[in-house]
Amino acid sequence: MPTPTTEEAPRILSLWQGSWAAALAVGVLVWGLILWSAFFHRRSRTKVEVPPQTRYNMPIEALYTVVPLIIVSVLFYFTARDESELLSLKKKPDVTVNVVGFQWSWCFNYIEPVAGSTGDAKTSKDLDAIPDRFKKAFPDNAGGVYDCGTPGTRNPQTGNPGPTLWLPKGKTVRFVLTSRDVIHSFWVVPFLMKQDVIPGHTNAFEVTPNKEGTFMGKCAELCGVDHSRMLFNVKVVSPERYEQHLKDLVDKQQNGYVPAGIAQTSHEKNRETNNL
């Protein structure tokens, strides 16, 4: 597993390792019983053509019914506990980024009030695809800036494929995920977490990066012929360097927002799916 680079990632790693430990213990027990039975009850040892047949043994039947239920219940409890914590959303995150997936690259709308960028994310037509329940947490008068990738291109500074998403270290970042065409999946590998990017449905999750550096991200959902090239970079920097990057985007005339994606129906758009 990659080294975790967010405050939330160790919880995911612990759940993953615990699940594998439980699976290994069950596997060792089952294979041990199979091998024991095959060895100690082999015909050459017992000289019995057909061993005694056991039917309707209620204690044994109860055992192999109850034990799997206990195992599944324990795994379900820890998964539900961690999933609830990982998908919970704060009322006001420090940073909000609208991640827009399209065939076959990414756009990043930084929903921030940046000097030199005018407008309001809460009323922007380009962000109509985002439900109102997420817009409530947008900063006031957030004119915003954006950055987009071109399919198949590489970052001129690093040589890595795809656009670069900048994030501030130590700040809670909310990703609001929208798609322009088909289902994608937003995955930053060392964050140990990914979520589907679905046309007509908005997903969101939050992380708090705690290590500076440049990390690889990719689409984790088969989305067409160039799916394997749908890559991007994540650059975690100091808050001061992050703010400077937003100003640099304004200087490049990349202020405002790119269209977020396919709008949701009125019923789906206002349905509560996350704790806000």
CA quadruple 157, 232, 171, 247: dihedral, nearest 10? 50
pLDDT higher than threshold 90 for residue 169: yes
Check pLDDT > 60 for residue 276: no
Mean pLDDT of 227-256: 92
Answer whether 262's CB lies under 8 Å from 200's CB.
Answer: yes
Distances (CA, A) of 93 to 42, 106, 111, 112, 205: 65, 22, 11, 11, 11
Q: Please, where in the chain does CATH 2.60.40.420 lie?
A: 95-269
Does the pLDDT of residue 273 top 60, yes or no?
no
- Vertex 156: Cα angle to 144 and 193 (nearest 5): 60
* Count of C-beta atoms within a 10 Å radius of residue 212: 15
* 155 pLDDT tier (thresholds 50, 70, 90): low
12 by DSSP, 3-state: which? Answer: helix
**Once rounded to an integer, what is the mean pLDDT over residues 139-144?**
89
Helices and strands (DSSP H and E) totals, the chain? 6, 10
Q: Are 172 and 96 in contact (CB under 8 A)?
A: no
* Contact indicator for 192, 14 with CB cutoff of 8 Å: no
Q: Does domain 95-269 have CATH number 2.40.30.10?
A: no
The region of weakest confidence among 92-96, 127-131, 145-149, 158-162 is: 158-162
- The β-bridge relationship of strands 231-237 and 164-168 is parallel
Query: pLDDT band at residue 205, thresholds of 50, 70 and 90?
Result: very high
On average, the pLDDT of the chain sits at 87
pLDDT digits (tens, 9 = 90+) for 85-115: 899 898 889 999 999 999 889 999 999 998 8
Residue partners of 209: CB distance under 8 A and separation at least 6? 5, 6, 167, 168, 169, 170, 171, 173, 191, 236
Are residues 11 and 208 in contact, defined by beta-carbon separation less than 8 angstroms? no
Residues carrying CATH 1.10.287.90, the chain = 9-87
- CA separation for the pair 177, 108 (Å, rounded): 10
Q: Residue 192 gets which letter from DSSP?
A: T
Residue 100's identity, in one-letter code, is V
* CATH number for the domain running over 9-87: 1.10.287.90
Continuous segment of H or E residues that includes residue 109: strand 105-110
pTM for this entry = 0.82
Query: What is the model's pLDDT at position 271?
Result: 52
Residue 182 to residue 223: CA distance in whole angstroms: 7
**What is the arithmetic mean of pLDDT over 16-44?**
88
53 pLDDT tier (thresholds 50, 70, 90):
confident
